[in-house]
Amino acid sequence: MVTTVGTESTYEKLLRNLLLLEHDAIAAYEQTIQRLDNKAWAQQIAAFKADHDRHVQELTQLAGTAGAEAPMEGDAKQLLTTGKVAMASIMGDAATLRAMKSNEEDTVSAYERASQHSAAPAEALQIFKRAHEDELRHRAWMQETASAA
């Protein structure tokens, strides 16, 4: 799935769409934690989910300051992110991590673009950059762990 998040014309729309993306990601993380047999991997995924929870808190605060809509749950794309995990889990833990890594591609791209968004204030750009670094770390761990399995 390729996202367009980060290409919005306004800062308010950017915040709304980042929040939707984060809620979709959290749902996929919850699904993954439940489906992984490897408990050490599930623990690491839970730690990554905590990063996404923090992103939601930070984005919600930014949205409040900007007077932007702050969705409290994901949208229809959530079916794709969670469905991909559910299907992959049939093939084992490594396949589940590969499905999550493909979901991470969207968050990496979204935050990379958001961290350079011309309408975003400096405070928001810093938050987006930190989130981008989190997403790069998540994706790298999933790639390395799934490949080594």
Task: Tell me the pLDDT tens digit for each residue of 107-143.
Answer: 999 999 999 999 999 999 999 999 999 999 999 999 9
Residue 3 lies in a domain: no
Q: Find tokens 């490949």 and name the residue.
A: 147
Residue 62 lies in a domain: yes
Q: Contact at 8 Å (CB) between 6 and 111? A: yes
Residue 25 lies in a domain: yes
CA distance 127 to 18: 12
Element (H, E) at 89: helix 77-89
| CATH number for the domain that contains residue 133 | 1.20.1260.10
Per-residue pLDDT reduced to its tens digit, 2-61: 788 989 999 999 999 999 999 999 999 999 999 999 999 999 999 999 999 999 999 999
Residue 41 lies in a domain: yes
Residue 2 lies in a domain: no
- Reference 16, options 114, 118, 142; nearest CA is 114
| Alpha-carbon radius of gyration of the chain | 15
Extract the tokens encoding 62: 């930014």
- Reference 141, options 49, 14, 5, 12; nearest CA is 49
Q: Provide the domain count of the chain.
A: 1
Q: Is the pLDDT of residue 97 over 70?
A: yes
pLDDT band at 1 (very low <50, low <70, confident <90, very high): low
- Torsion angle of alpha carbons 46, 68, 106, 7, nearest 10°? -160
CA distance 15 to 137: 22
Cα 58–chain centre separation:
14
For the entire predicted model, the pTM comes to: 0.91
Residue 5 lies in a domain: no
Burial class of 31 by CB neighbour count within 10 A (0 to 12, 13 to 18, 19+): buried
Q: Which residue range is the domain that position 18 belongs to? A: 11-148
